Amino acid sequence: MRQLPADEASHQPPRDGVAPAHSYLDHGTTVWSWLTTKDHKRIGVMFLGSVLLMFFMGGVFALLLRLELLQPQPSFFDGLTYNRLFTLHGVTMVWLFLIPSIPTTFGNFCLPLMLGAKDLAFPRLNLASLYLYWFGALVTLFGMFQGGTDTGWTFYTPYSTTSSVEVLPVLVGIFILGFSTILTGVNFIVSTHLTRAKGLTWRRIPLFVWTIYGTSIIQVLATPVLAITLALVGLDAGFGIGLFDPQRGGDPVLYQHLFWFYSHPAVYIMILPGMGVVSELVCAFARKNISSYAAIVISTLGIAFVGFFTWGHHMFVAGQSVFDAGAFGVLSMLVAIFTAVKILTWTTTLYRGSIAITAPFVYVAGFIFLLFFGGMSGVALATTSIDIHWHDTYFVVAHFHFIMVGASLMAFFGALHYWFPKMFGRRYPEGLGIGAAVLIVFGFIATFLPQFLLGNAGMPRRYFTYPEQYQPLHVTSTAGASLLGFGFLIIALYLAWSLRWGKVSGANPWGSRGYEWLTPSPPPLHNFHEVPTFERDVHDYTVPEAGHGA
Amino acid sequence: MSPLATEAAGNDLLRRALFLPEQASTLAPQIDFLHYLIIVTTLSVGLTIAAAFLFMVVKYRRRSESDTTPRFTTPLWLEATYFGLPVTLFLAWFVIGFCDYVAFAEPPRDALDVYVTAKQWMWKFAYPDGPASINELRVPAGKPVRLLITSRDVIHSFFVPEFRLKHDAVPGRYTQLWFEAPRPGEHPVLCAEYCGLEHSKMRARVIVMEANAFQDWITAEKAKLVADNGLRDAQPPPGAAQQASLREQGGAVAARKGCLKCHSVDGTAHIGPTWRDLYLRRERLEGGGEVIADEAYLTESMMDPAARVVAGFRPVMPSYRGLLTPGETAALIEYIRALRSRDVTPTPSEGPVYAPASGR
Ligand SMILES: [Cu+2]
């Protein structure tokens, strides 16, 4: 491992300005030093690279699907390929991108910084989690390409247990990924409890930490249920135990209950961290304390808790009893109320602030707007009666893409831009950043607004061919998707460029008073030269600049 | 314009703006009403929030990098509003929606029953008194119809966008759905639950007929059925009724051809294995291996019994190749399939032996 500054300097491109002499990036530059690191920051960066790759793949699958849907008749693919593509798209985006996206990357990177800790509680476990992720991802992707799984990411029985395609390898892959999720979750929970610096009480920790904490609880509690369910499906498909197969006396709807018992909370695994990001970003760019810390914390924990009791809203038309439907409907409404409280609290935070329009702020605005409509469409679905019409149509597709892409992805990209200088010590071109962000928000609306209307018109999901009257809306949606793709391409290019040639950012380019900015950017190996005292509340902008920055 | 006409015009305007299809069932306008209510409220609240957001972005734009801002926390009354407003709205919508949902769930007593069987990738509709059709459901206008839906293989979902109706077809259980179409017309039926390769082509249509025309049609169908049954078997077995079902014919064939000398139908092993619960059983074979007793295997067992011999039995069954007509083979299979104590593929035309499908 080369650690001599002189040796390093010869490998670095000329820098403009002064980058911190010694950051976590300089402690060993070999591949080996990265692969064996126990530094949460490096692990976070490696996770970031991996999930971005997965996002790219999932995005390509999505564009291929949109391309096929330009025409009502088969055009580019045959039916089987189409069915495999949407399965690939779903599995990649849900398990390989969205679920790990924010916690394993920005959570990993920022949590110890925000807590004034040197690292997570279990650094080795953290690395194990990364390896499990890689291994699980490989098995999953291999399984899908090899076996040609065409069941959709939901693996509904008895189709998945009786169809001729191989589902077992994919299930094994997701099973492994689950362990990665659980390890990360455990690590975050323990770190939040045990590694907080002096003075960081539960009433003062940053809101991002709260959401990562809430998310981790869901991960640890729900993922085992997924593992059990997948194992049972595996036994059913591979050995014919027949638990979910009515021909052998099993019950396919039981599968749906087990699957959604995990997968509904999983939606909150995907959105809660995004809400945490937005809580940070709103404060940073409005230079304002959050207008109600308690409301955000309570609603975070409320979502994490109540999210476990809403899974039945996926089965309003599957033959569950009227009582069940009513109970699950009301509980789903309750989760939405927590979200509403958050949206109103963020908006109120702007009041009397000092608002800077930057790329991350555009993502925040996009997030709030899209989450609002995504959430309201969820409320509409939870009324039970309209769901009879909307269930399994494009309306549902649009609804969850508003939440999972509209909201989660906006938060992810907001976080990426906000913490890019923190991670790499360099800035991206702000003008380009704002332009791309605006493009993404409008591209998104153009893609998914037509899908709401398609659902209203009665277009079912997972349709390879479709009745002709739906074509105009499909064409609009595909046009929007290409805008989106274009926007992401721009972002990829300028971020890659900025990694090397971006302006050196300095410790705190945003003037943010989030705790993670109290140390240089990029942070030194052990995060702090000296541990800060955390005298002020997080995002307190009441007094002029003083004593901030290490 | 009269208030009624205004209402109709408003309904039509909103319906078109939202790309909703025509309202072809009595429940559709109710569903759409809630839809309109939610969309109008959502848009106005959304626009208000967006306006407030933009207003503040402009008004409180950053003036210098080192701006300080006062500490502000939401007062309690505002906090209460943030919570109370959505609670009230959501609950109100839920009450309206759930009332409709309950109405959906309970069919009127005088509804006409139709059995719907989904399979990859078609819909079969059967009326209790005999007639059946593929991918075409005929119903009378202005009369409630109850559909009893099941599937033969994987889960499908019966969806008529113009009725705003859908229900999953789950193998191994019957689920129910009802509707009343006020006017004659034709409406597409789609499969909404992903069911494999041809999922998107699993389409059918509902044809709503004038009540009289429907009566005429069903009478004619019944007459045809009787005639068909006469033709199906050129030499009807002595004693078998003309319009006997396939399954009954199978029982007669088994007796006539002597199968029952070696096979029992009550679960006891005889010279050959019992036929009770044979269909789809996992059969262990002489010399290792297993096979699921599906239609193909059953046919093979009759035509070439020595090909795969059931473990624990001697290969003494004669081949019936050439001795059974295709019609007789089908009847035998149908008969064996019917000998299941826990029938997962109920034959809808048997008539309404139906217990409401709440839960299981
Ligand atoms: Cu189907």
* SS3 assignment, position A19: coil
Domain assignment present for residue A176? The answer is yes
| Residue that wins the pLDDT comparison between A215 and B248 | A215
Residue A124 burial class via C-beta count within 10 angstroms: exposed 0-12, middle 13-18, buried 19 and up: exposed
* Calpha distance A505→A520 (Å, rounded): 10
Segment among A223-227, A248-252, B168-172 with least mean pLDDT: A248-252
User: Looking at chain A from residue 253 to 312, which residues have their Cβ under 8 Å from any Cβ of chain B?
Assistant: 253, 286-289, 291-292, 295
**Nearest by CB: B60 against A159, A330, A350:** A350
**CB contact A75 to B (< 8 Å):** no
Given CA atoms A30, A35, A39, A41 in this order, what sign does their dihedral have?
A: positive
A73 touches chain B (CB under 8 A): no
Distance CA A404, CA A399 (A): 9
pLDDT digits (tens, 9 = 90+) for A24-34: 888 888 888 88
Contact residues on chain B for A373, CB-CB shorter than 8 A:
42, 46
pLDDT band for A4, please (50, 70, 90 cuts).
very low
| CA separation for the pair A274, A211 (Å, rounded) | 8
Q: Which residues of B touch A329 (CB under 8 A)?
A: 94, 97-98
Q: Do A246 and B344 count as a contact with CB atoms less than 8 A apart?
A: yes
Mean pLDDT of chain B: 81
- Which ranges of B258-312 would DSSP assign to H, the alpha helix? 295-303
What is the pLDDT at residue B287? 79
How far is Cα A195 from Cα A110, in angstroms, rounded to an integer? 13
Q: What's the pLDDT score for residue B176?
A: 81
Which has the higher per-residue pLDDT, A260 or A248? A260
List, for residues A262-311, the tens digit of each pLDDT value: 888 888 999 999 999 999 999 999 998 999 999 999 999 999 899 888 88
Q: Which of B72, B188, B282 sits opposite A352 (nearest CB)?
A: B72
Which chain B residues have a beta carbon less than 8 Å from that of A253? 170
Per residue, what are the HEC states of A457-489? HCCECCCCCCCHHHHHHHHHHHHHHHHHHHHHH
Residue B245: predicted pLDDT = 67
* A400 found inside a domain: yes
Name the helix (H) or strand (E) containing A220. Answer: helix A207-239
A318 CB neighbours in chain B (<8 A) are 155, 168, 170, 175
Place of tokens 């591209």: A443
Of A22, A34, A91, residue with least CA distance to A61: A91
Contact A541, A518 (CB under 8 A): no
pLDDT digits (tens, 9 = 90+) for A408-452: 999 999 999 999 999 999 999 999 999 999 999 999 999 999 999
**What CATH number does residue A430 fall under?**
1.20.210.10
- Per the domain annotation, does A512 fall within a domain? yes
Cα–Cα distance for residue pair A135/A301, rounded to 1 Å: 32
| A28 within domain boundaries | no
CA of B326 to the centre of ligand 1 (A): 29
The phi, psi pair for B208, rounded to 5°, reads: -90, 120
H or E segment and range at residue B118 = strand B112-119
Residue B240: pLDDT band (50, 70, 90) is very low
d(CA A203, CA A230): 39
Q: Tell me, what's the pLDDT at A21? A: 58
The identity of residue B39, as a single letter, is I
- The per-residue pLDDT for A296 is 92
Over 70: is that where the pLDDT of B87 sits? yes
DSSP state of A311: G
For the residues A333-356, what does the mean pLDDT come to?
92
Rg of chain B taking only CA atoms, in angstroms: 30
Q: Give the model's pLDDT for residue B21.
A: 93
For residue B173, pLDDT over 80 is answered with: no
DSSP B256-319: HHTGGGT--SSS---SS---TT-TT-EEEBTTS-EEE--HHHHHHHHH-TTTSPBTTS-S-PPP
Return all residues near A60 (Cβ < 8 A) that are at least 6 apart.
Answer: none
pLDDT of res. B325: 67
Contact A289 B72 (CB under 8 A): yes
Structural domain contains residue A326: yes
Q: Taking phi first (over 0 means left), then psi (-120 to 50 degrees means alpha), and beta for anything else, what does residue B318 get?
A: beta
A336 touches chain B (CB under 8 A): yes
Can you tell me the mean pLDDT for B287-300? 78
Tokens encoding A276: 């945490």
Residues of B in contact with A326 (CB under 8 A): 98, 101
Nearest CB neighbour to A337, from listed B61, B86, B199: B86
Q: Taking all residues of chain A, what is their mean pLDDT, rounded to a whole number? A: 88
* Distance between A358 CA and the closest CA of chain B, angstroms: 11
Given this model, what pLDDT does residue B229 score? 57
Query: Quick check: is A18 in a domain?
Result: no
pLDDT tens digits for A368-382? 999 999 999 999 999
B174 or A329: whose pLDDT is higher?
Answer: A329
Distances (CA, A) of B324 to B232, B235, B321, B329: 15, 13, 7, 6
- Write down the residue that tokens 């080369």 correspond to: A2
- 3-state SS class at B257: helix
CA quadruple A155, A267, A404, A416: dihedral sign: negative
What are A377-402's pLDDT values in tens digits?
Answer: 999 999 999 999 999 999 999 999 99
The CA B187 to ligand 1 mean position distance, Å, reads 18
Kindly give the distance from the C-alpha atom of residue B158 to the centroid of ligand 1, in angstroms, as a whole number.
8
| Predicted pLDDT of residue A543 | 85
Mean pLDDT for the stretch of residues A462-468: 91
Tokens of A316: 């309003």
For chain A, positions 206-245, list CB contacts with chain B under 8 A.
Answer: 240
Q: Which chain B residue's Cα is nearest to A163?
A: B196
CB pairs A-B closer than 8 Å: 279
Candidates B69, B95, B99: best to mutate against A (most CBs of A within 10 A) is B69
- Asked if residue A364 is part of any domain, the answer here is yes
Range of the domain at A409: 6-12+37-518
In this complex, which of A286, A388, A466 lies closest to B166 when CB atoms are compared?
A388
Please state the domain count of chain A.
Answer: 1
More confident residue, A504 or B173: A504
Count of residues for chain A? 550
CA A425 distance to own-chain centroid: 24
Of A159, A345, A393, which is closest to B74 when you measure between CB atoms?
A: A345
CB contact under 8 A, B200 and A79: yes
ipTM of model: 0.87
Average pLDDT, stretch B334-338? 81
**Whole-number percent of chain B with pLDDT over 90:** 33
Q: Is A134 in a helix, a strand, or coil?
A: helix
pLDDT over threshold 80, residue B357: no
> Do residue B56 and residue A365 have CB atoms under 8 angstroms apart?
no
Establish if A460 belongs to a structural domain.
Answer: yes
Q: Say which of B166, B168, B203 has its CB closest to residue A389.
A: B166
